[in-house]
């Protein structure tokens, strides 16, 4: 019988995006991991990039926690499992603390995770106290850990910020501006968010520098036992998944162009019995001998010339499709399958030609937010986030919809179908409807599904 377990835990949140949540969450995790403790990190809400930095800090896979997309039961089960084998759990919030429905605050209240607020205080003094008071008291019942000021100009500035607080115990210290004392721990960004940690040679050095700065704060000097302790109740024992993809080999593109992969999605495929075969189109890998193919999202627009040069892979993909073998392509994976990709600079690159038409990069967001997509009688939950648009003569076979809404012809993300190819800007969370996943990858027809 798995009982309730107790573990140090915080949810790192902020009043808005861009305040330094990922830096602080990664620094806190890294600080304790360097001391030999096992630390698990999670990311609130849909995200592929922040988790890469948290995984680098902890050395452990990072899963999503989202009360709608993954579901409360899934969140509780993952946190309980992490608490059984870890000494510290760090959850990074999403956007501002109260932004979205459900929000990071909803997650904190529902799961009892004390909020560690991070505020960019670089251009404020007394207002810092008002902002902290608002975050702490705006909604009743919010578990609270304290506040860390970010981008503090110096000792005098930090003293002003501390003095502005109504509750002195809320002060957990301040981080200096990155580079201000010779230590560079800024995490660079591009159009979809943070640059992937694997793209930077000094990624770990940046996290270490942030951890060093955090070590000098009251938060960093706290012993593990002095951090907020949370009790995680044991979830109901889940029935094992039927292995309905037993023996099926699923090839999965995985490299800098196709890097948006939830570790939990791989776990679902393996639990269903599939064998996952990874290959890198950028490295020149051939398509593995497989029964089905998954092209995840990523950055094909940044690697379009290299992908366009893969004439050999283009031939292999066409042979795969000619045999009627399934292809599931999400967002960037779909972009690689059209005839052409037009970059933000107007350059046009010939892509792999399994779908007619082109995708065109824009400088503004073209899609953002939670979505659900019907596959047969089953609803996959997930999200969308992209800057490109699709120009194709293919009519959508279906469209995704906002949570709780019916699909509309003028909204949501299109699902394009061409032979055994299914493609969409929609990113799926496989555990929300495993039977739909079986269907996507060519398994037996799905049975009744309780999700949705």
CB atoms within 10 A of CB 448: 7
Instruction: Name residues whose C-beta falls within 8 Å of residue 283's C-beta, 6 or more positions apart in sequence.
Output: 255
**Residue 64 is inside which H or E element, if any?**
strand 63-65
- 331 a catalytic residue: yes
Half-sphere exposure of 183 (CA within 13 A, CB side): 17
Region class of 71: left (phi > 0), else alpha (psi between -120 and 50), else beta: left
d(CA 145, CA 205): 27
d(CA 120, CA 127): 12
d(CA 29, CA 56): 10
CB atoms within 10 A of CB 77: 18
Query: Three-class SS of residue 174?
Result: strand
Q: Are strands 348-350 and 5-13 parallel, antiparallel or unpaired?
A: unpaired
Burial 93-119 (b: 16+ CB within 10 A, else e): bbbbbbbbebbbbbbbbebebbbbbbb
Residue-wise DSSP of 3-33: --EEEEEEEEE-SSTTSSHHHHHHHHHHHHH
d(CA 353, CA 434): 29
CB atoms within 10 A of CB 152: 24
3-class DSSP string for 251-282: EEECECCECECCHHHHHHHHHCCCEEEEECCC
d(CA 251, CA 105): 38
d(CA 258, CA 249): 19
**Residue 311 is inside which H or E element, if any?**
helix 311-322
The residues annotated as belonging to the active site are: 331
């Amino acid at each position: 019988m798995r009982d309730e377990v107790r573990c140090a835990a915080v949810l790192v949140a902020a009043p808005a995006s861009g305040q330094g949540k990922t830096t602080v969450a990664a620094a806190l995790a890294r600080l304790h991991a360097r001391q030999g403790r096992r630390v698990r990190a999670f990311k609130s809400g849909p995200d592929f990039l922040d988790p890469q930095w948290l995984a680098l800090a902890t050395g452990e896979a990072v899963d999503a926690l989202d009360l709608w997309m993954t579901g409360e039961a899934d969140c509780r089960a993952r946190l309980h499992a992490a608490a059984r084998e870890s000494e510290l759990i760090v959850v990074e919030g999403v956007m501002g603390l109260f932004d979205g429905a459900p929000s990071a605050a909803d997650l904190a209240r529902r799961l009892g995770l004390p909020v560690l607020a991070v505020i960019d205080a670089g251009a404020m003094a007394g207002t810092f106290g008002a902002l902290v008071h608002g975050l702490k008291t705006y909604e009743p019942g919010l578990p609270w850990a304290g506040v860390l000021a970010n981008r503090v100009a110096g000792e005098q500035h930090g003293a002003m910020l501390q003095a502005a607080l109504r509750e002195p115990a809320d002060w957990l210290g301040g981080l200096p501006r990155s580079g201000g004392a010779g230590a560079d721990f800024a995490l660079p960004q591009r159009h979809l968010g943070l640059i992937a940690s694997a793209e930077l040679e000094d990624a770990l050095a940046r996290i270490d520098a942030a951890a060093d700065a955090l070590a000098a704060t009251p938060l960093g000097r706290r012993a593990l036992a002095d951090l907020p302790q949370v009790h995680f109740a044991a979830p109901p024992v889940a029935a094992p998944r039927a292995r309905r993809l037993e023996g099926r080999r699923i090839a999965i593109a995985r490299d800098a162009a196709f890097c948006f992969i939830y570790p939990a999605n791989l776990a679902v495929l393996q639990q269903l019995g599939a064998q996952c075969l990874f290959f890198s189109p950028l490295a020149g890998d051939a398509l593995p001998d497989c029964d089905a193919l998954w092209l995840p999202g990523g950055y094909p627009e940044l690697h379009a010339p290299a992908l366009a040069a893969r004439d050999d892979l283009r031939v292999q993909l066409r042979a795969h499709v000619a045999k009627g073998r399934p292809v599931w392509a999400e967002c960037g994976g779909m972009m690689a399958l059209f005839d052409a990709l037009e970059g933000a600079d107007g350059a046009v690159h010939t892509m792999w030609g399994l779908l007619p038409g082109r995708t065109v990069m824009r400088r503004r967001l073209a899609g953002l937010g939670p979505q659900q997509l019907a596959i047969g009688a089953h609803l996959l939950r997930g999200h969308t986030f992209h800057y490109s648009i699709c120009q194709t003569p293919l009519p959508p076979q279906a469209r995704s919809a906002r949570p709780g809404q019916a699909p509309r012809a003028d909204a949501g993300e299109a699902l394009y179908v061409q032979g055994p190819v299914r493609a969409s800007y929609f990113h799926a969370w496989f555990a929300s409807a495993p039977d739909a996943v079986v269907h996507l990858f060519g398994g037996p027809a799905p049975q009744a599904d309780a999700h949705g």
